Structure 1
Amino acid sequence: MKFSGHIDINKPVEEVVNFFTDSKNLAKWQDGFVKKELLEGNAWENGAVSKMYYQYGKRGMELTETIISNLLPHSFEASYHHKHMDNTMRSEFKPLGELATRYIYEVEYTRMSFVPKLMGILFPSMYRKQGEKWIKQFKEQIEKL
């Protein structure tokens, strides 16, 4: 399963990328985010591995992020592993003049266990809608600054 899209942000690309790379901002746009912990390598460098923790009510979730390619301020790609699924996300940041940025994203789910796969079949837009919600929240939060 794969989806992609873009959103235009009324901030210069440098500000957008700085907001994107500051882990303290994750809780502002990713629902349930608790913390990010570096496990291997150097933060934001290719090959770096981090554990990301989320809390949804009484249910916790952990993801392992591995940076595939960091070519910021232009692009960033990482893989995310969860016990029930794996996905990759590629983000690109294109300047739209000096005061705006186009954030282009592409998410591909490469592995899903039975229940998430079934949910994707029964509710095909569920994963896309969650991703788009976070992208919209990203835009809202950075434009507040």
Structure 2
Amino acid sequence: MRYTVDITIALPRDKVIEKMDKPENLKHWQKGLTNYELLEGTPGQEGAKMKLEYQMGKRDMTLIETILKREFPKEFHATYDTKGVHNIQKNYFEELDETTTKWISESEFQFSGLGMKLMGWLMPGAFKKQSKKYMEDFKNFAEKGTSVAKITETNN
């Protein structure tokens, strides 16, 4: 399954990258993130692997991020692996003008196991919707300082 989503952010590209390139900012725009840990390599650099732990409702999920390409400010590519799912994500950052950046994210999901293949086939819109939600949450964090971590903490 493949799809592309994009969003326009009212910030210069260097500011967008500055906020995106800090692991400590992930919790502010990736709702449910409870922990991250460097497994190998240099943080944020090609070849680095990081474990990302999420709590989504009553479900815990662990992803392993592997950075494939890091050519900031123009692009950032990584894979995300969890049981039954291999996600290849290619992110591009276009400078529309001095104060506006377009973030384009191309996602490819490869499923293994009958359950995940079925979910990908029956609910492809759910994956795209989640990707778009993360982008909207990043936009709100980058532009206004709105953090989903604060929302999560108040709702508990």
Structure 1 length-normalised TM? 0.94
Alignment gaps of 5+ in structure 1? none
1:138 maps to which residue? 138
Cα distance in 2 for residues equivalent to 1:3 and 1:112? 18
Equivalences for residues 1-145 of structure 1 within 5 A? 1-145=1-145
Once the 2 structures are TM-superposed, how far is the Cα of residue 28 of structure 1 from its aligned partner?
1.4
Cα distance in 1 for residues equivalent to 2:141 and 2:81? 26
Once the 2 structures are TM-superposed, how far is the Cα of residue 83 of structure 1 from its aligned partner?
1.2
Alignment deviations for residues 20-72 of structure 1 (CA, whole Å, 9 cap, x no partner): 11111111111201121111110111111111111123321111111100001
Cα distance in 2 for residues equivalent to 1:16 and 1:73? 9
Once the 2 structures are TM-superposed, how far is the Cα of residue 124 of structure 1 from its aligned partner?
2.5
Answer yes or no: is the 8 Å Cα contact 2:8–2:102 preserved in 1: yes
SS of structure 2 residue aligned to 1:96: strand
1:137 counterpart letter in structure 2:
D
Q: Percent identity?
A: 37
Cα distance in 1 for residues equivalent to 2:90 and 2:60? 25
Cα distance in 1 for residues equivalent to 2:40 and 2:2? 28
Once the 2 structures are TM-superposed, how far is the Cα of residue 73 of structure 1 from its aligned partner?
1.0
Q: Which runs of 4+ in 1 moved over 3 A?
A: none
Once the 2 structures are TM-superposed, how far is the Cα of residue 113 of structure 1 from its aligned partner?
2.4
Cα distance in 1 for residues equivalent to 2:32 and 2:60? 9
SS of structure 1 residue aligned to 2:124: coil
How many residue pairs end up in the alignment?
Answer: 145
Cα distance in 2 for residues equivalent to 1:131 and 1:56? 15
Structure 2 length-normalised TM? 0.88
Q: Which moves more between the two structures, 56-65 or 5-14?
A: 56-65
SS of structure 2 residue aligned to 1:125: helix
1:52 counterpart letter in structure 2:
L
